[in-house]
């Protein structure tokens, strides 16, 4: 039982760090922001976000698509897209897409 739990925990931690797109990711704790895409559209006055959450590397729920984030703020012309990831030992992970545009 103990070995199983330890194995599950290690697996979750590895999965948690593996899902980070950035070249830098922490095994124990991750809190990073990074750029994802830039378009030729000028300026932005609206910001929309969308997120997915992962639990113990076993369950992941949500919709972090660019389309969803843009729709949350009524964005029709995207200027650029960022993302951020927070992870606590892979046990709890939040992945957020941030869309800027008009």
Partner 1 sequence: MGRLAATERGLRIGWLLAKGPGLGIGRLTGIGRRLRIGRLLMAGLLTVESLSTVLGQDIRSHYVSKAETDGRIYHTFPVTLFEHSEAGDLTFDITYKEHREGRATLNFTCHSSSSDGVDSVRFVSGSTVLSGPVEKLYLEPEKRGWKHRYTFDLDASLLCGFFDERQQPEVTLYIGGIPWAYRVKRSAWRSYAPVGYRIFEMIRVNERQ
Nearest approach, Cβ of 23 to partner 1 (angstroms)? 21
Q: By rule CB under 8 A, what string of x and - marks binding of each residue 33-72 to partner 1?
A: x---------xxxxx-x---------------------xx
| CA-wise closest residue to 97 among 89, 88, 78, 43 | 78
Residue 35's CB is within 10 A of a number of other CB atoms, namely 11
Nearest approach, Cβ of 2 to partner 1 (angstroms)? 6
Our CA dihedral for 94, 37, 100, 71, rounded to 10 degrees, sits at -70
Candidate segments 10-18, 19-27, 58-66, 91-99, binder of partner 1 by CB under 8 A: 91-99
């Amino acid at each position: 039982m103990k070995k199983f739990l330890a194995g599950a925990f290690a697996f979750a931690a590895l999965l948690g760090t593996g899902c980070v797109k950035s070249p830098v990711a922490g095994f124990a704790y991750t809190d990073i922001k990074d750029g994802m895409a830039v378009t030729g559209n000028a300026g932005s006055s609206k910001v929309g976000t969308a997120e997915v959450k992962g639990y113990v590397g076993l369950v992941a729920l949500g919709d972090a698509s660019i389309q969803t984030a843009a729709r949350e703020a009524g964005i029709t012309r995207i200027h650029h897209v960022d993302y951020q990831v927070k992870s606590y030992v892979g046990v709890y992970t939040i992945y957020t897409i941030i869309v800027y545009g008009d």
